[in-house]
Amino acid sequence: MEPGPIQLLILAGLLSLGLAVERSYSLIEQNKTWQEAQDYCRIHYNDLATINSAEDTIQLQKEADAHRFSSAAWVGLYTDMDTWRWSYNNMSLGNFRNWKSNQPDNTMGREGCVTMAYDGLWADMVCIGGKPYICFKDTQPERYIFFTNSTSWYMAQSFCRQYYTDLAYAPDDVSNLAIKSIIPGGNIGWIGLSRDSWKWSDQTTPSTIPWMSGQPNNLLKNENCVFIENGKMADNRCTDLFPFFCQSRIKRNRLITRVEVTSNQNLNDPAVNELILDTIEKKLRERGLQENSTVAWRKKPDGTVFNRERTSNDYNNNSNDYNVKC
C-alpha cells in the first residue's frame, strides 16, 4: 500500500463465502413408525430427509433407484397439532381450551387457524379462508370489536395489530365469555389462535410440497406424518410402518475473510457496498469459485459493513488480508 498524496481512509469489512451446501440421502429398508424413523436418523445420520429443492428431489430419486425402491417411505415432513399459540405476545395455549366437540379436526390436513362461534366454542379452519374476525384492545377492561367483513386470518391479524392490540385473546373463561357476547347470533370470527403448518423434521419450512392429487386429506384423522412414493407425497398416520429416508449431515461451509478497502468515499453507502462486492465476486469466480457458492458482506447489527480502521499515513504495515483499492 502506497500512501497517496491525499489522505485516504482504510476501512475493513468482513466478507462471508458460503460454499456449496450438500445434502445426501440414505434409504433405510426397515419398517418403522415415523417417530422411530426420526430417532434412527438422528442417531445414525443427521435427520429424517428434508427435500426442499429440485436438486434434493434428484438426489433422493438417485438413492431410491440405487436400491430399486419404488414404494412408500417416510420423509421428514410432519405437522404438530400441539403447537397452538396466541397471536398476542406469542403466548402458548394454556389449560383453558374451549373446543367444540370433535375439534380441532384439521379437515383435509389444511386447518391451522381458529374461529370462535356465537356460542363461544372454537373450531380450526383453513387460515386463508375468508371469515369475519374479532380484534381486542388491551385496556382495562379489554375491549373486543367484531368485524363482519370476511378476510384471511393473516389479514385479520395485521389489521388488528395495526389499529388495535391484536386478534382476540381468550386465556380464560371470563375473556371467552366477553368475546362470545359480541359475536352476533349465527356468526363466527377469527380469534388469535393458530399453529405451525407442515414443517421438516430439521425444523425448516417447506417451500412447496409435491402432494399426490387429493392429498393431504387427513382421511383417517391424525394423519400428521408424510411419506413419499415416486416423488409425490401423502399424509399418513405416524404410527404406520414404512421404510424411510435419512439425510446425511448438511455441509454448510462458511469462510469469513477480512477485506481492507482504501478509499475517500463513504463505503457504507449500500450502492457502494454492492459495487465492491460485485468486483470481488467477479475476481473470485475468475479464480474458480463454484457457481453454487455465495459471496456476501457480513453486515453489522446497524446494517453497515465497514469499520474505519485508520488513515493511510497512520501506519504503513501490510496485512495478509484481501486488499482492495477504490
Ligand X SMILES: *[C@@H]1O[C@H](CO)[C@@H](O)[C@H](O)[C@H]1NC(C)=O
Indicate whether 149 belongs to the interface with ligand X (CB under 6 A): yes
Contact residue for ligand X among 159, 182, 217, 222 (CB under 6 A): 159
Does position 147 interact with ligand X (CB under 6 A)? The reply is yes
84-113 exposure pattern, b = at least 16 Cβ within 10 A, e = fewer:
bebbbeeeebeeeebebeebbebeebbbbb
Would you count residue 290 as binding ligand X (CB under 6 A)? Answer: yes
Footprint (CB under 6 A) of ligand X, residues 220-259:
241
Q: Is 31 a residue that touches ligand X (CB under 6 A)?
A: yes
Q: Is 266 left (phi over 0), alpha (psi -120 to 50) or beta?
A: beta
Shortest CB 118 distance to ligand X, Å: 19
Return the C-alpha cell found at 141. 377492561
Q: Taking Cα atoms as reference points, which of 252, 253, 247, 251 lies closest to residue 44?
A: 247
Q: How far is the CB of 309 from ligand X (least distance, A)?
A: 6
The residue among 174 and 252 lying less far from ligand X, judged by its C-beta, is 252
**Element of type H or E holding 248:** none
Long-range contacts of 113-116 (CB under 8 A, 24+ apart): 113/153, 113/190, 113/193, 113/194, 114/84, 114/190, 114/191, 114/193, 114/194, 115/188, 115/189, 115/190, 115/191, 116/168, 116/170, 116/176, 116/179, 116/180, 116/183, 116/188, 116/189, 116/191
For ligand X, the closer of residues 177 and 292 by Cβ is 292
Nearest Cα to Cα of residue 195 among 118, 90, 102:
90
Q: Closer CB to ligand X, residue 107 or residue 294?
A: 294
Stretch that binds ligand X, among 39-47, 104-112, 143-151, 183-191 (CB under 6 A): 143-151
Q: Which residue has the cell 375439534?
A: 103
29 binds ligand X (CB under 6 A): yes
Tell me how far, at minimum, the Cβ of 316 lies from ligand X, in Å. Answer: 8
Contact region for ligand X (CB under 6 A) — 36-44, 171-179, 227-235, 311-319? 311-319
Site track 42-61 with ligand X (rule: CB under 6 A), x = hit: -------------x------
Residue of the chain from 7, 20, 70, 97 that contacts ligand X (CB under 6 A): 20
Q: Is 211 in the site for ligand X (CB under 6 A)?
A: no
Binding status of residue 69 toward ligand X by CB under 6 A: no
Q: How many residues bind ligand X (CB under 6 A)?
A: 21
> What string of H, E and C letters represents the secondary structure of 16-76?
EEEEEEECCEEEEEEEECHHHHHHHHHHHCCEECCCCCHHHHHHHHHHHHHCCCCCCEEEE
Region binding ligand X by CB under 6 A among candidate stretches 120-128, 138-146, 224-232, 285-293:
285-293
C-alpha cell at 83: 403447537
Exposure b/e, 3-34, CB count within 10 A at least 16 = b: eeeeebbbbbbbbebeeeeebbbbbbeeebbb
| Selected binder of ligand X within 90, 95, 207, 208 (CB under 6 A) | 90
Candidates 4, 7, 30, 321; binder of ligand X (CB under 6 A) is 30
Contact between 317 and ligand X per CB under 6 A: yes
Q: Is 40 in the site for ligand X (CB under 6 A)?
A: no
Q: Is 154 in the site for ligand X (CB under 6 A)?
A: no
**Residue from 1, 9, 14, 21 that binds ligand X (CB under 6 A)?**
21
Point out which residues bind ligand X (CB under 6 A): 20-22, 29-31, 55, 85, 90, 147, 149, 151, 155, 159, 241, 290-292, 315, 317, 319
